[in-house]
Amino acid sequence: MTILAVGEDLDLLKTRAELLSKTGANVLCSSGAAALKFIAEWEFDLVVLGHTIRRQDAKQITDAAHRQGSKTLVMMLVSEETEMQTFEGIPLDGRSFADPACLIRSASQLLERRQSRHPSEPALKMPVNSSLAKKKPASYPADISVRRAQIAQFQNRRAG
């Protein structure tokens, strides 16, 4: 099982990845901009959108995850109930409050739902009409420190 955790706050993303790994899934972290690239290259069981994601990015990521033939589920995290209104009209498979216990429970339920949808199919089976088979990412730890170093290096180059 693989989860793509998407968010813009690196500290929060690291914490979420650690929590999501308690579901037994491999967790890959991404910013909103990079998420579309990951979804285009790999098949995920679940995409978890953090509440720091802009509505427009959430819509694009959800549409990409739900592309024809994909079985990827998308869950939106919100910090309070009023935030849910911001994401109305986006075809999400689930919503969860960002509370750790709620997050783990909601993610686990969606992963179980994803697995029970097609229990006879192997996890990597692709649609017949898919010309390029996508693969699941191997176990990639949520290496936030590497991303921070890359961002700092990029910003130093821009400033210099």
Tens of pLDDT, residue by residue over 5-40, are: 999 998 888 899 999 999 999 999 999 889 999 998
Whether residue 74 has pLDDT greater than 60: yes
Q: Which residues contact 114 (CB under 8 A, 6 or more apart)?
A: 1, 45, 46, 71, 73
3-class SS at 81? helix
DSSP tag of 92: -
Task: Kindly list the structural domains of the chain, giving each domain's residue range(s) and its CATH number in brackets, ordered by start.
Answer: 2-124+135-159 (3.40.50.2300)
* pLDDT at 125 exceeding the cut of 50: no
Q: What is the pLDDT of residues 79-116, one digit of tens each?
A: 776 566 667 778 889 888 888 899 999 999 998 887 77
158 CB neighbour count, 10 Å cutoff: 7
Residue 117 pLDDT grade (very low, low, confident, very high; cuts 50, 70, 90):
low
